Amino acid sequence: MDEVTPRDGYVWVTKRIPGQPVADLLTGLLPDAVRALQFDKAMRWGRSRMRFARPIRWMLAAFGGAVVPFEIESVKSGLCSRGHRFNHPDPFEATTLDALLEGLRSRQVEPDADVRERLIREGSVAVAGGTPDLTDALVDENVYLTEWPMPTQGEFAEGYLELPEPVLVTAMAKHERFFPVRGADGRLTNHFVSIRNGGEESVVRQGNAWVLGARFNDAKFFFEEDKRKSLDEFLNKTSGIVFHEKLGTVRERANRLSELARAVASETGADAQETEWARLAGLYAKADLSTGLVSELASLQGVIGGEYARREGMPEAVCFAIAHQYDVSEGIDPATPGGRTALRLIIADQLDKLAGYLGVGLAPSGTSDPFGLRRAATLLIHAAWTWDAVRSYKGLFDFANMNAPCRRAESVNELAQLFAARYGALLGDVPHDVLAAAVRSDSVKETLAPRRVRHRIETLTVLQARPAFIQTATRPLNIVRAAAKKGVDIPATAWVADGGVDRHLQSTEGVALAEACRRVSPRVAELARLSREPETVAQHLLELESPINAFFESTMVMVDDEGVRDARLSLLQAVSDALMAAGDFSLLISE
């Protein structure tokens, strides 16, 4: 029975919950635990109403040597499990974890994923006859595709080595989950390693070679057909591919990309040669969408375009950019001409996509994002974080929006909202108030400047250790905003910078604050523009703390004398502008 006791100004409740046998608790908890399991792909099986990755055939649940009884979708729990589906299909009983693990392993099921990974890695090296490409992603995929992994060497006809390497690797790794094998010179050999889960080794080897040969044969046919056409012919064929009914064809988009890539090059300080490389990359970026090889291996779009551009003798930077246009990866180095060209193409591609789809009113809504606009914004943010030449996307988006087939004035605001949401997703460890203060939703240009957003986060993180300063920094921001809401016209801050405001302030503390602002503001603005040294920015801003406090302790801002009031508001606006280099302090939550 509950007991209620008033004590020390509070009401205390003593609640007694009687214990229950563990087995009874498990009977209720385990079904909920099973139903709560989440999978990337789940469906209903048979007459089942529950979505699950695979049909549920049996459930082993034991505690204290006895079964824990429950039922899910007409399947009752028991004490039996099974081993390898083909080699050991008969059930066996287990009442302890050790007995279950021993029973599984003796029946060719290895339950430990780490052990399966070791068997795959070590076994592949042992049988490869060379160096297998054991990429983490492909190893991980094979770990969870097999219960009893057995690496097996296979080979294919050497004639297929004439195909471009990306075609061979994609067919083996992506489509068949095989590991390509390289020789001592680093080039692909006609061997591969597959991970079988059972079956006769010779039969599996022969079947793998047949399947892979068939895929290579199709690829070779399309490759030979593609050889008969030039990249210009493929580009012209994209006139028959619709990008979107309101946004024209892929060929029309190629013209937009070439102009936008050139604009990105100009914005990021390219010389004449790199500007032309960016234009070429933009023009031919989507040409391979009309090739036979991409129609056969869609995941190779871009990669095939880069191979065909290289075959025609285009500059290597252009070939590299076309091949790497779909992702910002570690392989894109902005210190190299190819890396810079690739980043310019990526930026142009995503800006054109965003301008187009936002222009026809297709902004993401809720969980719906059929055109991948959130990913496009993410790529732009990563591109800016990768390369310090990218400042704000505002001007470039305006250019893309101007050239888009459909234009809407609100598109740029929708883009800013999209960026703000992506910052939250990408910087999940940043406190929400710091993120809100750093994003600067009051300025589209600042919101669309990823490096400056991250720089402000770093600066605010330093200043958050000074709650007194945060309160001080909030005061000038609040004053000028309140005045603006009342319709007060705040004069330009230029006369603060040139010292002309001093004689109108009628405040010794105001003059001292103006002098401090003139000293601090240029330093802060330059470091913020370059997104450098957040600790130094924080230290400079801290120099304003005492002058701001002294000014507010001695000086009234909204006085009757209009000239004095305007001077003081202009000063506070200049101080606010300097502070906003670190973010909107009014959004920070201070203890």
The string of pLDDT tens digits covering residues 300-321 is 999 999 999 999 999 999 999 9
Q: What pLDDT is attached to residue 496?
A: 80
pLDDT at 49 over 90: no
List, for residues 373-409, the tens digit of each pLDDT value. 999 999 999 999 999 999 899 999 999 999 898 888 8
Q: What pLDDT is attached to residue 330?
A: 66
Q: What is the mean pLDDT of residues 134-145?
A: 95
CATH of the domain spanning 457-587, picked from 3.90.1300.10, 1.10.730.10, 1.10.10.10, 3.40.1350.10: 1.10.730.10
Measured CA to CA, the distance from residue 98 to residue 505 in angstroms comes to: 83
Q: What is the mean pLDDT of residues 163-169?
A: 93
Question: Could you tell me which residues come within 8 angstroms of residue 414 by beta carbon, excluding any fewer than 6 positions away?
Answer: 358, 363
Q: What pLDDT is attached to residue 492?
A: 82
Length of the chain equals 591
Measured CA to CA, the distance from residue 548 to residue 516 in angstroms comes to: 9
Measured CA to CA, the distance from residue 272 to residue 276 in angstroms comes to: 6
Question: Could you tell me which residues come within 8 angstroms of residue 39 by beta carbon, excluding any fewer than 6 positions away?
Answer: 52, 53
Measured CA to CA, the distance from residue 522 to residue 528 in angstroms comes to: 10
CB neighbours of residue 281 within 10 Å: 35
pLDDT at 8 over 90: no
Quick one: tokens of 177?
């989950």
pLDDT-based confidence at residue 591 (cuts at 50, 70, 90)? low
pLDDT at 247 over 90: yes
List, for residues 398-444, the tens digit of each pLDDT value. 999 998 988 888 999 999 999 999 999 999 899 999 999 999 988 99
Q: What pLDDT is attached to residue 493?
A: 79
Q: What is the mean pLDDT of residues 21-44?
A: 92
Judge whether 50 and 73 are in contact, CB under 8 Å.
yes
Average model confidence (pLDDT) across the chain: 93
pLDDT-based confidence at residue 3 (cuts at 50, 70, 90)? confident
Q: What is the mean pLDDT of residues 172-192?
A: 94
pLDDT at 459 over 70: yes
List, for residues 470-523, the tens digit of each pLDDT value. 999 999 999 999 988 988 888 887 888 888 888 888 999 999 999 999 999 999
Judge whether 95 and 61 are in contact, CB under 8 Å.
no
What percent of the chain is modeled with pLDDT above 70?
99
Q: Which residue would you say has higher pLDDT here, 49 or 167?
A: 167
By C-alpha distance, which of 275, 321, 271, 322 is closest to 294?
A: 322
- Which of 75-89, 123-137, 165-179, 485-499 shows the lowest mean pLDDT across its residues? 485-499
Look up the pTM and report it. Answer: 0.83
Q: What is the mean pLDDT of residues 185-208?
A: 94
Measured CA to CA, the distance from residue 281 to residue 273 in angstroms comes to: 12
Task: Fold for 235-426, please state it.
Answer: Hypothetical protein af1432 (1.10.3210)
Measured CA to CA, the distance from residue 447 to residue 445 in angstroms comes to: 6
Domain spans of the chain, in order of start:
22-78, 113-225, 235-426, 457-587
Judge whether 225 and 246 are in contact, CB under 8 Å.
no
List, for residues 531-562, the tens digit of each pLDDT value. 899 999 999 999 999 999 999 999 998 988 88
pLDDT at 61 over 90: yes
| Amino acid, single-letter form, for residue 445 | K
List, for residues 257-291, the tens digit of each pLDDT value. 999 999 999 999 999 999 999 999 999 999 999 99
pLDDT-based confidence at residue 327 (cuts at 50, 70, 90)? confident
Judge whether 436 and 560 are in contact, CB under 8 Å.
no
- Which of 32-36, 309-313, 325-329, 439-443 shows the lowest mean pLDDT across its residues? 325-329
pLDDT-based confidence at residue 41 (cuts at 50, 70, 90)? confident
Judge whether 194 and 152 are in contact, CB under 8 Å.
yes
Q: What is the mean pLDDT of residues 574-587?
A: 92
CB neighbours of residue 85 within 10 Å: 12
What percent of the chain is modeled with pLDDT above 90?
80
